[in-house]
Copies of this chain bind each other. A is one copy, B any other.
């Protein structure tokens, strides 16, 4: 199976070379665990390798996301300007009846949708259209949680998620989808999106003897062999930094 680098060197080592190409990988973590950081680092790493990226923002406006990430040495504005990262502002779902305006495309008279309400199928169609027009290779959806809440019935949510993941895959792009952890890590319930995606990267925050410890764990990665151990990580000026040979304690 073809691999692509994640943009996080230590993580590529844990993955024995990178993420599987053209797949949907879930990044699950608690508040502040660095889900958005990792998701954008994936696009930045792609841009450096010549792959165009698409960032779909569900909860925060793209301007705000860029501000939040401004302390990293990534030059997101430059990458957007060069067309290496395109942003879709999908936060309008908050106000029914308004437009979804992919930020970059619009200035070129591109996609310009009227949405009565954003749903998983509508989002999938939008992403497929933009991915085709912009020649996208990497996609980040951050986070999927808001849309999942629209399906309170578990059987229907499962079906909708399977169809959404199918649609994403049909773009041929490599995708990272972030998801919010519902409960802390001990004795937790597994979330259905963990079963439906092809890989799951957990960003854990543990308290051990009074210390807060951050650890990444490849819970699942279909199709490639990988290190299944907990590996410590930190959030530094270059983003997520994984120590692939260290133990958490």
Pick from B64, B188, B196, B235: contact of A183, CB under 8 Å: B188
User: In the bound complex, what is the Cα–Cα distance between A209 and B209 (angstroms)?
Assistant: 12
Q: Which of A74-82, A102-110, A124-132, A154-162 is near enough to bind chain B?
A: A154-162
User: In the bound complex, what is the Cα–Cα distance between A76 and B225 (angstroms)?
Assistant: 18
The answer to whether A217 touches B212 (Cβ under 8 A) is yes
Chain B min CB distance to A148 (Å)? 9
Contact with B along A188-210 (1 / 0, CB 8 A): 11100011101010000101111
One complex includes copies of this chain to the number of: 6
Chain B min CB distance to A171 (Å)? 14
The answer to whether B166 touches A94 (Cβ under 8 A) is yes
* B-chain residues with CB within 8 Å of residue A68 when the two chains form the complex: 198, 222-223
Chain B min CB distance to A224 (Å)? 6
Q: Which 7 A-B pairs have the closest CB atoms?
A: A32-B220, A149-B155, A68-B222, A31-B194, A68-B223, A210-B248, A32-B219
Pick from B30, B154, B248: contact of A190, CB under 8 Å: B30
Pick from B31, B94, B222: contact of A163, CB under 8 Å: B94
With both beta carbons as reference points, the residue of chain B lying nearest to A220 in the complex is identified as B32
Pick from B36, B186, B221, B236: contact of A225, CB under 8 Å: B236
The answer to whether A158 touches B163 (Cβ under 8 A) is no
Count, chain A residues at interface, CB 8 A: 72
Q: Which of A221, A222, A230, A237 has the most CB of B within 10 A?
A: A222
- A-to-B contact residues, CB < 8 Å: 1, 30-33, 36, 59, 64, 67-71, 91, 93-95, 143, 145-146, 149-150, 152, 154-155, 158-159, 162-163, 166, 169, 180-184, 186-190, 194-196, 198, 200, 205, 207-212, 214, 217-225, 228-230, 235-237, 247-249
9 residue pairs from A and B, CB less than 8 Å apart: A36-B222, A71-B225, A93-B159, A146-B158, A146-B162, A150-B155, A183-B189, A184-B186, A187-B187
The answer to whether B207 touches A225 (Cβ under 8 A) is no
With both beta carbons as reference points, the residue of chain B lying nearest to A91 in the complex is identified as B162
* B-chain residues with CB within 8 Å of residue A31 when the two chains form the complex: 190, 194-195, 200, 219-220
